Structure 1
């Protein structure tokens, strides 16, 4: 059997809506590992948010911050932080619109205001508490991803206003802020190069808008049945919902597990 390098999104793919991983999913991960495939996580989450998933799966290679920070065999092999001057401008613009920001690096997330209901509402879906407050946290530290908290109707205040960043909606009241050239697929390319495994032998599984480039770019892009329509349009294969063992069924379909 040919060895594949397989990348898994977390939320909506490995984890269901309750942020739980089914026993079938755990067993599928184990079988893929036993069959000689190399596995990695590709997520919008920060590294400090991955400990539980690593513990449950035994997968230690990961691409975090939607591709801006890649770790393989415990070693950081790629970093792509946000541009400081652009962050300063965004912080100024968002503050004038009363839209809070959260800054993330590999160690923690920090809010630029003390409390906001939109931060609590969205962050709680990841099973994390409202972050602590430090307005200028981003000034002297690398920030790999930021979160801005605004409604879809307010997106126009920021879209196409910045050359070096882009926005990806992940919640009704929040969008990821990442480098304009950043994506999970950029991180995947770095990992595949390091492991000398061609992109055409890479498989990715996801469900959200932040998975678009990787699903389109790898050799086999699998989308969960609960995935967004835009992702399904570029998929090589659409499997069942996360609550219907979609991940397990997909790998059985391609005969990578029994």
Structure 2
């Protein structure tokens, strides 16, 4: 357990940014009662909650509703920062999308190599490969139904923020390298799980989007507490006045943090809130 870089244990927190999978939720993808209680108490103190995830907006919505963001206010930072929505008003504060010309190229690559490719349409996941086990995993994580389509290009939402390619880890490693080369300077390509390749606009990053949001909220980064466990959380952990890594986080994530809390199976979020927020 790291000790904090801060001398005092109390921290003037005005906003809490939370990654979801492996951080806010346990292995069953649920928020446990203790963590929920701690976050509701933080909101009572006037602290804003920001749910920051690679998931699409509607994959975050049930958790946002559970934490009362639909009534009390709060923010969904979806697609790893590609879209920000104020969840009480449903106002889209920021949105970034893939350049139109890359989408057919991604589609052709997926077809040629027989990888599953999926997009999002409202509250559904759309794909030509509805039985692919990794597509079904994306459906489980987000609690979003899968709809089979004949041609993905005809169906995906206009100006998508993200597409997701799925497949066996070794194949996705190669796909990540291939596409990073093909798309260099036009879009970003990264793996969010061994079997998921995220295809997103250039420079999409949780910290960059949080900076935009905090500026709108009138809150300084020194009053931000960020929680995460994955490589895509490092930037927002470093950005925050109090960056917290989960015990189950990757080593590099722990090294970037001010403090390491308990794991996502042990209410690590609640434990850290108890320690640092009066």
Same fold (TM over 0.5): yes
Instruction: Label 1:58 to 1:103 Cα distance change in 2 as closer, same or farther (>3 A).
Output: same
CA distance in 2, matches of 1:127, 1:62: 16
What secondary structure, in the 3-state scheme, does the structure 2 residue paired with 1:242 have?
A: coil
CA distance in 1, matches of 2:137, 2:85: 30
Alignment of 1:140-151 (within 5 A): 141-151=158-168
CA distance in 2, matches of 1:65, 1:56: 20
What secondary structure, in the 3-state scheme, does the structure 1 residue paired with 2:222 have?
A: helix
Number of aligned residue pairs: give it: 256
Say which of 99, 104, 113 aligns to 1:83: 99
Runs of 4+ in 1 over 4 A off after TM superposition: none
What secondary structure, in the 3-state scheme, does the structure 2 residue paired with 1:192 have?
A: helix
CA distance in 1, matches of 2:251, 2:261: 13
- Residue number in structure 1 paired with 2:170: 153
1:112, 1:136 within 8 Å by CA — same for their partners in 2? Answer: no
Say which of 192, 195, 204 aligns to 2:217: 195
1:183, 1:213 within 8 Å by CA — same for their partners in 2? Answer: yes
Gaps spanning 5+ residues in structure 1: where? Answer: none
1:104, 1:144 within 8 Å by CA — same for their partners in 2? Answer: no
CA distance in 1, matches of 2:270, 2:55: 23
TM-score by length of 1: 0.90
2:123, 2:144 within 8 Å by CA — same for their partners in 1? Answer: no
Worse overlay, 226-235 or 158-167: 158-167
Say which of 211, 223, 230 aligns to 2:245: 223
- Residue number in structure 1 paired with 2:3: none
Residue 50 of structure 1 deviates from its aligned partner by 2.5
Gaps spanning 5+ residues in structure 2: where? Answer: 1-10
What secondary structure, in the 3-state scheme, does the structure 2 residue paired with 1:63 have?
A: strand
Cα RMSD, aligned residues only:
2.1
- Residue number in structure 2 paired with 1:119: 135
Deviations 1:191-218 (A, max 9, x none): 1011111122212111122212211222
- Residue number in structure 2 paired with 1:239: 261
